[in-house]
């Protein structure tokens, strides 16, 4: 039996399973990748919002990462909710030591409910500590504005923001996601690399059930990079994956329900269409 590709997520929890580590592991599985996880925060949340956040001690995160990296190296890793500068600096040590492992950063700042998942200090440290090491960063439009200081009004400002990520911050790639745009018919994502800009379009579906879209999208990119796919191929699949996940939501919860992490698996299969 061939050894499976392995992806690691470093993020917070969601007890209802729609976002965070739980969504990441489901997405890894749906992509045919073995998932490992290290917990940064224990979050009491559901489809109606975030009720409480308990950030674990950095030492506990260190012990988890030591257990993982002393046993089996992942082929790619991603970070989601990282609550403090100390956690970021700890993760940065691993990113420097294992710089050949692709790293995807989902700069999680707000839950779909609008609840803040990161304090102001942590937001400012993302740009200096983690983003320069990113193989791919996956900010949505509000996160892009927060990180770059640019008001996203049109495609020109998206290009300006992409340039900041690549040429000023130092990320190798960034996907500026268009889910928050005002286009009612389609959602367009922009992948910026050092040499190229690519766009990915999918139909926009009218639904409130989009809890965990950012986690899921970035997890699929991570899984595909773990399998040795190119940045373009990974983002292309992630865009199709998240579109189907939104189209076939399971309608769970009383608020903003989760997406369907297995829609792609059922509609397309493990291999690319």
Q: Is pLDDT of 110 > 90?
A: no
CA 10 to chain centre: 10
Please give the angle made by the CA atoms of 105, 76 and 79, to the nearest 5 degrees: 25
Determine, yes or no, domain membership for 145: yes
Domain enclosing residue 238, as ranges: 6-264
Q: Write the pLDDT tens digit of every residue in 144-194.
A: 998 999 999 899 999 999 999 999 999 999 999 985 556 667 889 999 999
The domain tally of the chain equals: 1
Confidence of residue 268 (pLDDT cuts 50, 70, 90): confident
For position 146, what pLDDT does the model report?
87
Q: Is pLDDT of 44 > 90?
A: yes
For position 243, what pLDDT does the model report?
95
Determine, yes or no, domain membership for 269: no
CB 176 within 8 A of CB 141: yes
Percent of the chain exceeding pLDDT 70 equals 90
Determine, yes or no, domain membership for 270: no
For the question of whether the overall pTM of this predicted structure is more than 0.85, the answer is yes
Q: What are phi and psi of 174, to 5 degrees?
A: -145, 135
CB 223 within 8 A of CB 36: no
Burial of 93 (0-12, 13-18, 19+ CB in 10 A): exposed
Classify residue 110 by its DSSP letter: B
CB 189 within 8 A of CB 243: no
Determine, yes or no, domain membership for 183: yes
Determine, yes or no, domain membership for 123: yes
- Determine how many CB atoms are found less than 10 A away from the CB of residue 266: 11
Determine, yes or no, domain membership for 273: no
What tokens were used for 179? 């889910």
Determine, yes or no, domain membership for 271: no
Please give the angle made by the CA atoms of 59, 65 and 68, to the nearest 5 degrees: 145
Cα 144 from Cα 132, distance rounded (Å):
15
What tokens were used for 228? 């040795």
Buried-exposed string 178-190: b where 16+ CB fall within 10 A, e elsewhere: bbebeeeeebbbb
Q: Write the pLDDT tens digit of every residue in 92-105.
A: 999 999 999 999 99
Nearest to 140 by CA among 168, 164, 107, 98: 107
Give mean pLDDT, residues 259-272: 81
For position 186, what pLDDT does the model report?
86
Nearest to 223 by CA among 238, 210, 236: 238
Determine, yes or no, domain membership for 24: yes
Q: CA torsion angle for 4, 100, 189, 232 (degrees, to 10)?
A: -70
Classify residue 143 by its DSSP letter: H
**Average pLDDT of the chain to the nearest whole number:** 91
Confidence of residue 250 (pLDDT cuts 50, 70, 90): very high
Residue 223 belongs to domain with CATH number:
3.40.1190.20
Confidence of residue 111 (pLDDT cuts 50, 70, 90): low
Active site residues: 177, 210, 212-215
């Amino acid at each position: 039996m061939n050894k499976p590709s392995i992806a690691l997520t470093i993020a917070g929890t969601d007890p209802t399973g729609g976002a965070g580590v739980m969504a990441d592991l489901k997405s890894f599985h749906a992509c045919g990748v073995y998932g490992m996880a290290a917990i940064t925060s224990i979050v009491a949340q559901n489809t109606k919002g975030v009720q409480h956040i308990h950030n674990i001690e950095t030492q506990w995160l260190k012990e988890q990462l030591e257990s993982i990296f002393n046993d089996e190296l992942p082929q790619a890793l991603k970070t989601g909710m990282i609550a403090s500068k100390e956690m970021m600096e700890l993760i940065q040590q691993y990113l420097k030591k294992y710089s050949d492992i692709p790293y995807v950063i989902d700069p999680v700042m707000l839950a779909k409910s609008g609840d803040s998942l990161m304090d102001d200090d942590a937001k400012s440290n993302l740009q200096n500590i983690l983003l320069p090491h990113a193989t791919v960063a996956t900010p949505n439009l509000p996160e892009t504005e927060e990180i770059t200081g640019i008001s996203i009004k049109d495609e020109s400002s998206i290009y300006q923001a992409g340039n900041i990520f690549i040429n000023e911050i130092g990320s190798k790639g960034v996907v500026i996601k268009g889910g928050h745009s005002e286009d009612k018919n389609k959602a367009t994502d922009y992948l910026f690399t050092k040499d190229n800009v690519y766009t990915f379009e999918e139909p926009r579906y009218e639904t409130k059930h989009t809890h965990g879209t950012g986690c899921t999208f970035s997890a699929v990119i991570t899984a595909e990079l773990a399998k040795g796919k190119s940045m373009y191929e990974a983002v292309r699949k992630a865009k199709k994956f998240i579109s189907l996940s939104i189209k076939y939501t399971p309608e769970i919860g009383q608020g903003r329900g989760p997406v369907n992490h297995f829609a792609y698996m059922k509609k397309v299969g493990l291999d690319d269409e």
